[in-house]
């Protein structure tokens, strides 16, 4: 029978998997406590970095409906649970790993979809959600301006065409 403390740990981890937008598994072998503290700060406010036991975390992930991470639970493992913008946390992990090669990104999950380590690095290369939304808004505004110019040009072009036809008819009428 499972010990109550282990059952509670599994339940807590399963809830973290369910409530997170993303979870990134890393290997932290060789990092000091001070480096782990720096890593936690670099992930941003919307991420929690926890050193976990592989067996309990694997059980919790399966309880949360995530079975794609099973192969990644080997060696010393820590999980970054992301509740906010996953790009910000991915950037924090990538940048920290550049400075500290002992941190190895194993893989993760984003909105229930498995991600490889390379996909997490590609995610880190994206611009933040706010920047992408502002670019999209700018593109929409630009398209609206272009559409307004086209719609304004149509009536004036029609008026010029009618005036040209009238002038041509006047010339032909005066020539007869």
| 89-121 per-position pLDDT tens digit | 888 888 888 888 888 888 888 887 888 888 888
Residues 48 and 37: their CA atoms lie apart, in Å, by: 11
Residues 79 and 10: their CA atoms lie apart, in Å, by: 14
Q: What pLDDT sits at residue 64?
A: 85
Same domain, 11 and 93: yes
Same domain, 107 and 150: no
Same domain, 25 and 81: yes
Return phi, psi of residue 74, to 5°.
-145, 150
Residues 106 and 111: their CA atoms lie apart, in Å, by: 17
Same domain, 72 and 159: no
Same domain, 106 and 152: no
Lookup result for tokens 């502002």: 134
Same domain, 97 and 119: yes
Same domain, 73 and 132: no
Same domain, 65 and 41: yes
By residue range, what is the domain housing residue 145? 128-175
pLDDT band of residue 1 (cuts 50, 70, 90) is very low
* Count of alpha carbons within 13 angstroms of residue 29, beta-carbon side: 6
- Percent above pLDDT 90 for the chain: 1
Same domain, 70 and 148: no
């Amino acid at each position: 029978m499972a010990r109550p403390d282990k059952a509670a740990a599994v339940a807590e981890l399963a809830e973290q998997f369910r409530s997170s937008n993303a979870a990134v598994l890393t290997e932290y072998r060789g990092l000091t406590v001070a480096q782990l503290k720096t890593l936690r700060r670099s992930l941003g406010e919307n991420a929690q970095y926890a050193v976990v036991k592989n067996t309990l975390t694997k059980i919790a992930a399966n309880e949360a409906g995530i079975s794609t991470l099973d192969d990644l639970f080997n060696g010393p493992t820590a999980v970054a649970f992301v509740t906010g913008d996953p790009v910000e946390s991915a950037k924090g992990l990538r940048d920290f790993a550049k400075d500290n090669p002992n941190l190895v990104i194993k893989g993760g999950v984003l909105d229930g979809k498995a991600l490889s380590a390379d996909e997490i690095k590609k995610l880190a290369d994206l611009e933040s959600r706010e920047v992408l939304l502002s670019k999209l808004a700018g593109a929409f505004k630009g398209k609206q301006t272009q559409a307004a110019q086209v719609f304004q040009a149509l009536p004036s072009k029609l008026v010029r065409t009618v005036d040209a036809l009238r002038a041509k008819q006047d010339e032909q009428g005066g020539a007869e």
